[in-house]
Amino acid sequence: MTRRRTKTLKVDPLTRVEGEGSLFVKIKDGCLHDVQLKIYEPPRFFEAFLRGRHFSEAPDITARICGICPIAYQMSAVQAVEDALGLAVDGPLRELRRLIYCGEWIESHVLHVYMLHAPDFLGYSDAIRMAQEHGAEVERGLALKKIGNEIVSFLGGREIHPINMRVGGFYRVPTRRELDPLAEKLRWACDAARDMVRFAASLPFPEFEPEYTFVSLRHPAEYPMDQGRLVSNRGLDIAVSDYEAHFEEEHVAHSNALHATYGEHGDYLVGPLARYSLNFERLTPGAQEAAREAGLGPVCRNPFQSIVVRSVETLYACEEALRIIESYEQPSAAFVDATPRAGTGFGCTEAPRGILYHRYQVGADGSILAARIVPPTSQNQKRIEQDLREFLPARLGVPEAELTWQCEQAIRNYDPCISCATHFLKLKVDRI
């Protein structure tokens, strides 16, 4: 009997990701045997925290789930609550919501592109070493991210865990004049974001194009951010309220995060690649042109090129933010009044990492009776493992250090936000 040779790659903890996780890859006799992305941040009981609280508290409580994308949580929360209350928020209030969301996309994408992901492509262990030889690029990233921060802290009331958003609108809305300084900065940011796209496009990309099932929002006229129907490249076209009829979450033993699945298709992908590939023609002409110049077609299936797509989306967010500010007219009221009524509401918005689904059941007195939150990283988790299963077999011969590097790079393609993804699943054990 020949001796079996087993090689285990272990990356514990994963660095340059948001939160705490690790990766295990087992290779047996030269064949890929097992891939497990483990998420071991403690389960967070936010869905349970929400029960019994007033609906007006949902945006502020759920914003605490993530320090990177609090706006996404607030946005999905207010939308779901407003859906339950039969409240429509449109006109300048909705525009302001898109504006603050643009700020979050800019912050989050720029941080990931320059500080967390670009070093992988250029062969640096981190952004500090990258800055020694690419100082101008890193400085551009810092300046761009600062503009995203400024939008969020200005409209959100403060930098960390913004507090100005509420069910029905905002606590306070800005005057036109207050937005002028941001417009000036955004004009610079649009140019800087075009340079960002060129920089990202100049990086070397491994050849790898899985047959993804993309899922994102799609709006009749806009690049999806805060509204739309849920669509896929496999024929899905449903209202947000039908999400749970098509998508399921399952617990896997090796992770504290739930794995989401999409019917018979199983794993699916949410986030920049899905949004872009399902909505290319909804980008601004400027962002479409930058994408074409960067060598992207209207569909992008190479996950390593997500760094280019994030840069294109950053440009889109800068242009969209500028458009909103330039056409802004201060609304007469900062919010639409909400009257409690019993009902169930659904919300889904495009967080930087992909769709974030919320459902609330609200009682007649306005208290939350049940809540369900499905963050983007738990939807992508199964697909991340599948990417590694498809990416690794052709590369098993490369030295271990390089292979480990490539695995980490492939995980970072998703900009996983592990803090958001951890849930606790109620287990029911049937003993026969």
Partner 1 sequence: MAAAAKSPTLVIGIGHPHRGDDAAGLLVARRLQRQAPPRIAIRESTGDGLSLLDRWQQKDRVFLVDAIQSGAPEGTLHRFELGQGPTPFEACRNTPHGFGVAEAIELARTLGRLPRRLIVYAIEGRAFGIGDALSAAVEEAVLEVVRRICAEVEV
Residues that bind partner 1 (CB under 8 A): 15-20, 41-42, 44, 67-68, 111-112, 115-116, 126-128, 131-132, 135, 138-139, 142, 145-146, 149, 159-160, 419
Q: Which is nearer to partner 1, 349 or 419 (by Cβ)?
A: 419
Q: What are phi and psi of 250, to 5 degrees?
A: -130, 150
> Quick one: which H or E segment has residue 410?
helix 400-412
To partner 1, the closest distance from the beta carbon of 107 in angstroms equals 9
Place of tokens 């300048």: 92
The nearest distance, CB 152 to partner 1, in angstroms, is: 11
Direct distance between the N- and C-terminal alpha carbons of the chain, in angstroms, rounded to an integer: 40
- DSSP symbols for 119-147: HHHHT-SSHHHHHHH-HHHHHHHHHHHHH
Q: Which CB atom, from 91 or from 135, has the smaller least distance to partner 1? A: 135
Work out how close the CB of 55 gets to partner 1 at its nearest, in angstroms, rounded to a whole number. Answer: 23
In the complex with partner 1, which residue's Cβ is closer, 14 or 355?
14
The least CB distance from residue 21 to partner 1, in Å, is: 11
Burial of 135 (0-12, 13-18, 19+ CB in 10 A): exposed
**In the structure encoding, which two tokens stand for residue 301, read together?**
């299936």
Nearer to partner 1, 45 or 171 (CB): 45
**Per-position DSSP letters for 17-86, written without gaps between them:** SBS-EEEEEEEETTEEEEEEEEE-SPP--HHHHHTTSBGGGHHHHHHTT-SS-HHHHHHHHHHHHHHHHT
Smallest gap, in angstroms, from Cβ of residue 165 to partner 1? 19
Q: How far is the CB of 294 from partner 1 (least distance, A)?
A: 24
Q: How far is the CB of 109 from partner 1 (least distance, A)?
A: 13
In the complex, minimum distance from the CB of residue 228 to partner 1, in angstroms, rounded to a whole number: 29
The position carrying tokens 């400027």 is 286
Please give the C-alpha separations between residue 72 and each of 64, 94, 354, 397, in angstroms, as whole numbers. Answer: 11, 14, 10, 41
Instruction: Report the residue number, 159 or 337, with the smaller CB distance to partner 1.
Output: 159
Count the neighbouring beta carbons within 10 Å of the beta carbon of residue 45.
10
* Closest among 423, 348, 278, 402 to 82, alpha carbons compared: 348
Where would I find the H helices in 202-249?
243-246
> How many angstroms separate the Cα of 355 from the Cα of each of 228, 311, 398?
11, 18, 35
Residue 172 · residue 334 · CB < 8 Å: yes
Nearer to partner 1, 134 or 358 (CB): 134
Q: Which is nearer to partner 1, 160 or 394 (CB)?
A: 160
Question: Which residue, 128 or 342, is less far from partner 1 as judged by CB?
Answer: 128
